[in-house]
Structure 1
């Protein structure tokens, strides 16, 4: 008879065992950091909120055409005058003024953010020499857009990254909003950049391929930001991470015993990969996106056991091969 052990019961065992975390020595490579690479952060929120007229806003839109086109979606407006007038009037609103002031209090000094971006970009450039440093703009959008990231430009909606106890909050579920704080910001950016290098096989449409895709993405962020806590990469609290490690064997058993790895039903895949407050197919005590977390463990084991470089790992598009050659086994709790 199959032994059933509830996740909620196992949570009580967390502090009875070593958590078995992946301990990574935090040390940035000085040779990588010695590269010449600078990131200029342009504080567009200052320029737009200090504009005294619609004509000044229009001037800014023409000064930053890439920002106007891609972030503000200028093409959706009848004319540049229409967009300029919309922005100017919105920025006169008292609530927007308070929001802007709050952002300036929280992000008055963004030198640490600039350094973190520069270090991350140097690491990416080291592994992927074709990487070109994008322009980086900050803005206050009134919670219209959090991040825009493409090869040439990054726009950061700073209002999304105010403290989670701030009176202004984005209109998104709480379990997601908790991940919108400044510590998560650069890992989010690096995670998005990883998709440029994360090769996949379009013919693979099963749960395992999704798990491996996200596992490679998280592995990429950890390689680029080795001193960053897993909490800020995957978006689990430290307590949730401890619980996952303590229950890893039982989580893995759920995937194996229910023959989920090669499941192709999108609805079933979404249960383990999609955004959710918990993975209720396992337990309401289990955090959401557990398939991504398991994929990360598999990819880490593959990289260690096969001793592949980060570029080679990201180039490998065969998810089943990564799984087979990973030698992955969950840690056992006796």
Structure 2
């Protein structure tokens, strides 16, 4: 390697590390609520309820919480969390970077505390985000083999490696308002905005995690981007309000439904992926920040993105 190339490489490494350096003062407050709850004496339950009133809805009596705390099945689920998360770094550089990038791009963002817990609610709500806290239901991140009753395309997301991106995704969703317009395009751009922000907050995450697909299917989508775009144009899907289109192109499914032989090769939620491509094209051509992006309507983004993929 010649001297000039060496200097460029050194500068690149320096700037790369400099940009992502997260200072210890940015540590995230982590509360392991499940440990406090399941490992405390029954007589201390009142103090826990007083400490975390937002986790104990008033409609449930203390006896319900005592029963839950001493239930053998729940205790086994809790013990599994100790095994799975034994060496897991909750206060990780990745989480700090997500919060740092959120603050950098959204003035209103305040770093929330992270509270882990065991929840027997809906697995779709495994991450709940408010402006002051992130609730993480650990029992929905025990690894895909722990959930044999669920389809593989769902259970593969239920792994601890997904936690930080799920947090980034929920933060991203909180900044994007859904439009009352029920066209497929509106839904696509909504999802596209969420994915675009997600990738800004969590820039080094693999697309397979962000778009919940496989490397092979994401590669297929990239190679067939023009054909996908052409299909949507020729079938006049963008301004169509048929609700069935959401299940075909926007749902969490193993593949999208073009009703063609190639369906099984495609990733699910291809409409969300295409929406991300359109949003990316708009931002690149118009040089706007995220605060501006979230306030733009879907039609403006679509019209002025000048998005048109090339043949690959």
Q: Residue 308 of structure 1 aligns to a residue in which SS? A: coil
- In the superposition, the TM-score normalised over structure 2's length comes to 0.85
Q: Which has the higher helix share?
A: 2
1:224-277 deviations in Å (ceiling 9; x for gaps) = 111111122111111111111122222222211110000112222332112222
State the Cα distance separating 1:133 from its structure 2 match: 1.8
Q: Which residue of 2 aligns with 1:192?
A: 170
Q: Following superposition, which runs of at least 4 residues in structure 1 exceed 4 angstroms of deviation?
A: 25-29, 142-145
Q: Please, which of 244, 265, 281 is the counterpart of residue 221 of structure 2?
A: 244
State the Cα distance separating 1:304 from its structure 2 match: 0.8
Query: For residues 331 and 27 of structure 1, what CA distance do their matches in structure 2 show?
Result: 31
Larger relative contact order, structure 1 or 2 (CA cutoff 8 Å, min sep 6)? 1
Q: Which residue of 2 aligns with 1:260?
A: 237
Which shows bigger deviation, 97-106 or 284-293? 97-106
Work out whether 1:319 is the aligned partner of 2:298. yes
Q: Which residue of 2 aligns with 1:206?
A: 183
* 1:12-161 → structure 2 map (5 Å cutoff): 27=16, 30=19, 33-34=22-23, 36-53=25-42, 55-68=43-56, 74-77=57-60, 79=61, 81-90=62-71, 93=72, 95-111=73-89, 113-142=91-120, 146-161=126-141
Does the CA contact (< 8 Å) of 1:32 and 1:122 recur in 2?
no
Q: Residue 137 of structure 1 aligns to a residue in which SS? A: strand
Q: Residue 294 of structure 2 aligns to a residue in which SS? A: helix
Q: Residue 148 of structure 1 aligns to a residue in which SS? A: strand
State the Cα distance separating 1:170 from its structure 2 match: 7.7
Q: Which residue of 2 aligns with 1:231?
A: 208
Q: Residue 47 of structure 1 aligns to a residue in which SS? A: helix
- In the superposition, the TM-score normalised over structure 1's length comes to 0.80
State the Cα distance separating 1:138 from its structure 2 match: 0.6
Does the CA contact (< 8 Å) of 1:303 and 1:326 recur in 2?
yes
Q: Which residue of 1 aligns with 2:7?
A: none
- Structure 1, unmatched stretches of 5+, are 1-24, 69-73
Name the Cα RMSD after superposition: 2.4
